[in-house]
Amino acid sequence: MPNKLIKQGYKLYDIADYGYIYSWIWSLKKYGLEGILPQEGLTNTGALVYALISTLPRSGITIYMDNYFTSIPLFESLCTKAYGVVSTTRAHKAFPKELVQLKSDGVKLE
């Protein structure tokens, strides 16, 4: 994220619940995300999320994430592994036009 003011050149991505971190992955500015296997159809960010979720002891749980990590291909791949996914998002070109219209009209879904 080019506008972040991180001078140290590293980031720590983790998967956590109730204040406990289950797993984490370092990202170094110089080397990027090392140790992340590319996943077909996913961006590097999607592969990062997929790698973290793959460390969980079981499937069949719901994952909550920030809109920075939201993507339809990621959600589809997680759903095939029996994970539920909840996230915020912004309308973008891959977003269904009907949902963009509902949002602009201020309609709440049941």
The mean pLDDT of 11-21, rounded to a whole number, is 87
State how far the alpha carbon of 9 is from the alpha carbons of 63, 66, 106, in Å: 28, 22, 41
Q: Who has greater pLDDT, 1 or 55?
A: 55
Tell me the CB-side half-sphere exposure of residue 63, using CA atoms within 13 A.
Answer: 29
pLDDT for 62: 92
Residue 78: which of 90, 62, 91 has the closest Cα? 62
The per-residue pLDDT for 6 is 59
What span, in angstroms and rounded, lies between the C-alpha atoms of 52 and 33? Answer: 12
Stretch 64-85: mean pLDDT, rounded? 88
Would you say residue 40 has pLDDT above 80?
yes
Decide if 55 contacts 33 (C-beta within 8 A).
no
Percent of the chain having pLDDT more than 90? 10
Instruction: Enumerate the domain spans of the chain.
Output: 10-105
Mean pLDDT, range 33-37, rounded to an integer: 75
Q: Cα separation of 44 and 39, whole Å? A: 8
What pLDDT band is residue 82 in, cutting at 50, 70 and 90? very high
Half-sphere exposure in the Cβ direction for 4 (13 Å, CA): 8
* Chain mean pLDDT for the chain: 82
Confidence of residue 83 (pLDDT cuts 50, 70, 90): very high
